[in-house]
Amino acid sequence: MIRIAIQSKGRLNEESLSLLQSIGIEVDAPKRKLLSRSQTFPIEALYLRDDDIPQVVSGGTATLGIVGLNEVEERGADVDILCRLGFGGCRLSLAIPKGEAYDGPSWFNGRSIATSYPNILGKYLKNKDIDAKIEVITGSVEIAPAVGIADAIFDIVSSGSTLVANGLVEVETVFESEAVLIARKDLNGEEREIIDDLLFRIESETVSRGKKYLLMNLPKASLEEAIRILPAMRSPTVMPLASSDWCSLHSVIDAADLWTKVRQLKAIGAEGILVMDVDKIIL
Ligand code: PRT
Ligand code: ZN
């Protein structure tokens, strides 16, 4: 049995639990308990604030954790990053008041920057040889310039609307983040076996994300062109139809390309196109 630390509430909680659910691991939601053992997999969830997850894993209280890469980096936790999970995407950026004339990172020389991420910012400033003062604040960083706490901020940006609402402009992206699965170092054999199974399931889930399964009837004469339009994992599956001039073609494509591909396939004579969701892809 292994223990996985998950954010108890906040931006990563729901998606962490739905990832586990989608790979057949049911755990009770944190409202009921701090620890919840799965009945379907040898794992128990430990619900914590995201700030605590890197240390809890590096210290061995949990074997695994799901947390933002930003928290792992900021806390310098000695853990292994097993995989990126494809949700919780954001970036850590420097932003300054709108209207300031910005001429590159040297703008920050002699200025003060408010942030909850002093370590990542400190490294960046050192790298760029910038002498700025870091003001550590733990919440509402975006209001710091307006209330006179600092000249600029270094904070998480996702859509950018919080910056706009506070009269700020993003000028440098310093760190790209998303949710990651982390593990304690020096795992034993049993832990490794359970984690291999977990990673195998996660991979089949992340590979299938954003994919559609396409099935259509196609004149055989258009087959070559269709194969060019549909670069599948190996190549599209072609099946015979009762009518010898036609075949049935199956393929997996990125959902983002769906309508472009459908239009191209229609143009070469495809008919009866079925589009289906892909639940899992086992490579
Ligand atoms: O209570 P706990 O300590 O567990 O949670 P928390 O409040 O510290 O963190 P939470 O739940 O806000 O975020 C958890 C993790 O989600 C972060 O560490 C990031 O890895 C990731 N994440 C992804 C984000 C965002 N997107 C995000 N937009 N974390 C915070 N924000 C905030 C940001 O601080 C800013 O205030 O959203 C605002 C900006 O959003 P936009 O869309 O307006 O740019
Ligand atoms: Zn937090």
pLDDT band at 30 (very low <50, low <70, confident <90, very high): confident
> Residue 242: phi, psi to the nearest 5?
-55, -40
Helix/strand/coil for 2: strand
pLDDT the model gives residue 213: 94
- Per-residue pLDDT for 37 more than 70? yes
Q: What torsion, rounded to 10 degrees, do the Cα atoms 99, 100, 105, 106 define?
A: 170
pLDDT the model gives residue 233: 64
Place of tokens 């701090």: 34
Q: Is the CB of 68 under 6 A from ligand 1?
A: yes
Q: Give per-residue pLDDT as tens, 240-256.
A: 888 889 999 999 999 99
- Per-residue pLDDT for 89 more than 70? yes
DSSP classification of residue 19: H
Least confident of 29-38, 77-86, 129-138: 29-38
Q: Is the CB of 36 under 6 A from ligand 1?
A: no
CA pair distance 166, 279, nearest whole angstrom: 41
pLDDT band at 29 (very low <50, low <70, confident <90, very high): confident
Q: What torsion, rounded to 10 degrees, do the Cα atoms 88, 89, 92, 98 define?
A: -110
Contacts of 194 (CB under 8 A, 6+ apart): 1, 2, 42, 43
Domain ranges of the chain: 2-87+178-207, 90-177, 210-277
E strands, 184-223, in order: 211-219
Please say whether the beta carbons of 253 and 273 come within 8 A: no
Q: Do 2-87+178-207 and 210-277 show the same overall fold?
A: no
pLDDT the model gives residue 207: 86
Percent of the chain, pLDDT > 90?
89
Beta-bridged to residue 271, according to DSSP, are 217
- Per-residue pLDDT for 223 more than 80? yes
Q: Give per-residue pLDDT as tens, 91-112.
A: 999 999 999 999 999 999 999 9
Return the closest-CA partner of residue 91 out of 68, 112, 118. 68
Atom in ligand 1 nearest the alpha carbon of residue 178: 20
CATH of domain 90-177: 3.40.190.10
Q: Is the CB of 176 under 6 A from ligand 1?
A: no
pTM to 2 decimals? 0.89
Q: How many residues does the chain have?
A: 283
Burial class (CB in 10 A: 0-12, 13-18, 19+), 259: exposed
CA pair distance 179, 140, nearest whole angstrom: 22
Please say whether the beta carbons of 185 and 78 come within 8 A: yes
The mean predicted confidence, pLDDT, of the chain is 95
CATH T-level topology, domain 2-87+178-207: D-Maltodextrin-Binding Protein; domain 2 (3.40.190)
Q: Whose CA is nearest to atom 14 of ligand 1?
A: 11
Return the closest-CA partner of residue 212 out of 256, 255, 245. 255
CATH T-level topology, domain 210-277: Alpha-Beta Plaits (3.30.70)
CA pair distance 30, 20, nearest whole angstrom: 14
Q: Is the CB of 74 under 6 A from ligand 1?
A: no
| Interval between CA 201 and ligand 2 midpoint (Å) | 28
- Per-residue pLDDT for 123 more than 80? yes
